[in-house]
């Protein structure tokens, strides 16, 4: 799904290792040295698996934590095995573990004409829209389908994304197909979350493909009030970002060679470069953005913001100077981003939001894809509504480049 020129596959650090963060340019050396001084904080070893995945504080409530109850997903506290009264191992001696999802419970035994319609349209049309390259389209059409036949949560996600595609193509039946998409998505999500917490060589391909499809589903559902992909209006991570970053977490759990049916075929499916769209003159605006970052960034955020700028500049060159082979490769910017930068964006700090507005120009090239319709202006609208007046002048270039008119 997401390739980088450095790896011809899923986007991760520029050295191809998939671990750690990309090196900052030499001009940022002083700031990066300061970046190494991190504040310590207390961590809980006993949070539920979902909260650990999302990197959020868990209240450790039983039988389910507050976060899981609010998000209406299965909390492993609710399914944790209670130790026998005669057990010699106290509860506090180990982290709670979730009971594995029973695959048999996910077998779609009640398949009818609607599901037959969905699998037909998946292989005939939807799978081909997830890659512009013929090898990539064949991968989604055949490899992913074969994996889904033995991992039913992936099959439910295939049904979900296809139903959303049909909802887009057949407006008169939009509500019907959207309801069907939600039904299959809701059935798959608890299983994927559970499998993420016990990733192994047997399930890693299905899990990686699942979190990729969840990202596509998030796009395909269209812009939602208060959700802006990389941040939300509620000062917390958006649902989409949690699972998009789950791709990275999945890849970092095992050796890349473990993903023989998912990652490796995608890395080899890289085709010809994207057609040369009208190239925006971005060098001067991004140079001005650097000046703004150096002036407006708090001292302890400067290094992180400069790294984000360098990665953004790399994405611009890859897109418009003949490197990228898929439009969604630009999302390697969010994939490779440092955690503290993303946290600052969740807190609505001005500089990260201004950087994200400049990223929206790259997103705009994806508006021709059915699952990305409306996201660019929605994101810009969200950023505009949060920024103070003194910062809005610094997003005028991306607004003009996209052709959006602020309210």
**pLDDT tens for residues 175-217?**
999 999 999 999 999 999 899 888 998 999 999 999 999 999 9
Looking at the predicted structure, is the pLDDT value of residue 252 above 60? Answer: yes
Instruction: Supply the pLDDT for residue 73.
Output: 66
Looking at the predicted structure, is the pLDDT value of residue 11 above 50? Answer: no
Looking at the predicted structure, is the pLDDT value of residue 234 above 60? Answer: yes
Instruction: Supply the pLDDT for residue 329.
Output: 80
Where does the pLDDT of residue 218 fall: very low under 50, low under 70, confident under 90, or very high at 90 and above? very high
User: For 10-14, 59-63, 383-387, which range has the lowest pLDDT when averaged over its residues?
Assistant: 10-14
CATH architecture, domain defined by 45-78: Irregular (4.10)
Report which of 162, 141, 225, 187 is spatially closest to residue 170, judged by C-alpha positions. 162
Q: Average pLDDT in the 294-307 region?
A: 96
Report which of 355, 86, 389, 170 is spatially closest to residue 178, judged by C-alpha positions. 170
What is the C-alpha to C-alpha distance for residues 3 and 131, in angstroms, rounded to an integer?
Answer: 11
Contact between 244 and 215 under an 8 Å Cβ cutoff? The reply is yes
pLDDT digits (tens, 9 = 90+) for 352-366: 999 999 999 999 988
What is the C-alpha to C-alpha distance for residues 150 and 121, in angstroms, rounded to an integer?
Answer: 20
pLDDT digits (tens, 9 = 90+) for 98-144: 445 555 445 565 678 889 999 999 999 999 999 888 888 899 999 99
Sign of CA dihedral 60, 66, 72, 78: positive
How many beta carbons lie within 10 A of that of residue 176, not counting itself? 14
Delimit the CATH 4.10.240.10 region(s) of the chain.
45-78
End-to-end CA distance of the chain: 35
What is the C-alpha to C-alpha distance for residues 296 and 289, in angstroms, rounded to an integer?
Answer: 10
Q: Average pLDDT in the 270-292 region?
A: 82
Report which of 213, 106, 195, 98 is spatially closest to residue 153, judged by C-alpha positions. 106
């Amino acid at each position: 799904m997401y390739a980088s020129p450095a790896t011809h596959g899923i986007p991760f650090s520029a050295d191809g290792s998939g671990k750690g963060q990309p090196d900052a340019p030499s001009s940022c050396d002083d700031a990066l040295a300061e970046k190494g001084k991190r504040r310590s904080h207390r961590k809980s070893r006993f949070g539920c698996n979902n909260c650990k995945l999302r990197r959020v504080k868990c209240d450790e409530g039983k039988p389910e934590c507050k976060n899981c109850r609010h998000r209406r997903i299965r909390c492993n506290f609710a399914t944790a095995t209670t130790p026998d009264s005669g057990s010699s191992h106290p509860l506090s001696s180990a982290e709670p573990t979730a009971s594995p999802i029973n695959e048999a419970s996910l077998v779609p035994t009640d398949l009818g004409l609607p599901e037959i319609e969905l699998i037909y349209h998946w292989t005939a049309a939807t799978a081909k829209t997830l890659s512009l390259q013929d090898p990539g389209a064949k991968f989604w059409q055949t490899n992913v389908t074969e994996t889904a036949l033995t991992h039913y949560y992936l099959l439910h996600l295939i049904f979900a994304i296809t139903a959303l595609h049909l909802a887009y193509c057949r407006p008169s039946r939009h509500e019907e197909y959207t309801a069907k998409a939600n039904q299959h998505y809701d059935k798959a999500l608890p299983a994927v979350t559970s499998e993420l917490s016990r990733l192994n060589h047997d399930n890693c391909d299905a899990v990686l493909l699942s979190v990729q499809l969840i990202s596509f589903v998030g796009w395909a559902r269209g812009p939602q009030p208060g959700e802006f992909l990389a941040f939300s209006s509620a000062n917390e991570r958006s649902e989409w970002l949690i699972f998009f970053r789950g791709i990275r977490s999945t890849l970092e759990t095992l050796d890349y060679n473990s993903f023989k049916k998912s990652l490796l075929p995608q890395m080899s499916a890289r085709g010809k470069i994207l057609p040369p769209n009208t190239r925006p003159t971005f060098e001067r605006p991004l140079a001005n953005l650097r000046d703004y970052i150096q002036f407006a960034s708090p001292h302890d955020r400067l290094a992180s913001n400069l790294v984000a700028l360098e990665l953004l500049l790399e994405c611009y060159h890859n897109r418009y100077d003949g490197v990228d082979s898929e439009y969604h490769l630009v999302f390697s910017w969010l994939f490779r981003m440092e955690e503290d930068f993303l946290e600052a964006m969740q807190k609505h700090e001005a500089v990260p939001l201004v950087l994200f507005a400049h990223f929206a120009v790259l997103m705009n090239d994806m508006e021709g894809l059915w699952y990305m319709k409306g996201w660019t202006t929605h994101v810009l609208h969200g950023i505009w509504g949060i920024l103070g007046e003194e910062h809005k002048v610094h997003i005028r270039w991306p607004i003009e480049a996209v052709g959006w008119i602020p309210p």
